[in-house]
Amino acid sequence: MNKIPAVFFDRDGVLNYDDEGYVYDPNHYTIYPEIPEIIKTLAEAGYILIVITNQAGIARGIYTREHMHSCHSILQQKTNNAFSHIYYSPYHPEVSESLSRKPGSLLFEKAIAKYNVDVENSWMVGDRDRDLIPAKKLGMKTIGVRRNEDFNYADHVITKLEDVIKLAIDNS
């Protein structure tokens, strides 16, 4: 079976606006306006699209999985169900350690196995180094979206989300 290239995304601050604290209220869950077109373009280019998100507010009792799933329904609706899978880690080190929480790589490894991902030709897009560390360790190319953090693990740093297209399609 042929391996398939993927673009992996962090969620908050990459696909939707990030707040102080946690994003979980579906009434305040807002996708960046340029995301639907970017996602459509990547899907048409043959990438499978996967989200990997830390959702520690669940372990900390700040919100429930139902809140999170409501937000994910909005994300899928706005992007024409483009994401093959939305992996989340509900854990927080104050409550329970987990290898699934980024910078741990467990969720990436699950996705790679399940979707037969062509790792070398795949990308991870994140707004923090901890999103990029596991991807780099596994051999993917990494894109840092500059919000508030500097990056040590980004192969490319972008300020405009549209630049994901330039990197993943125009240069590939």
Instruction: List active site positions.
Output: 10, 12
Own/partner long-range contacts of 68-73 (Cβ < 8 Å, ≥24 apart): 68/24, 70/26, 70/29, 71/16, 71/23, 71/24, 71/26, 71/29, 73/26
Name the token pair of 42: 């990547």
**Least distance to Mg ion from the beta carbon of 11, Å?**
6
**Least distance to Mg ion from the beta carbon of 56, Å?**
12
Helices (H), the chain: 35-44, 65-78, 106-115, 129-138, 163-165
Q: Is 13 in the site for Mg ion (CB under 5 A)?
A: yes
Q: Considering only residues 140-159, where is the footprint of Mg ion by CB under 5 A?
A: none
**Least distance to Mg ion from the beta carbon of 63, Å?**
16
User: Which one among 29, 54, 104, 127 touches Mg ion, defined by CB under 5 A?
Assistant: 127
Q: Is 129 in the site for Mg ion (CB under 5 A)?
A: no
Interface residues toward Mg ion, by CB under 5 A: 10, 12-13, 127
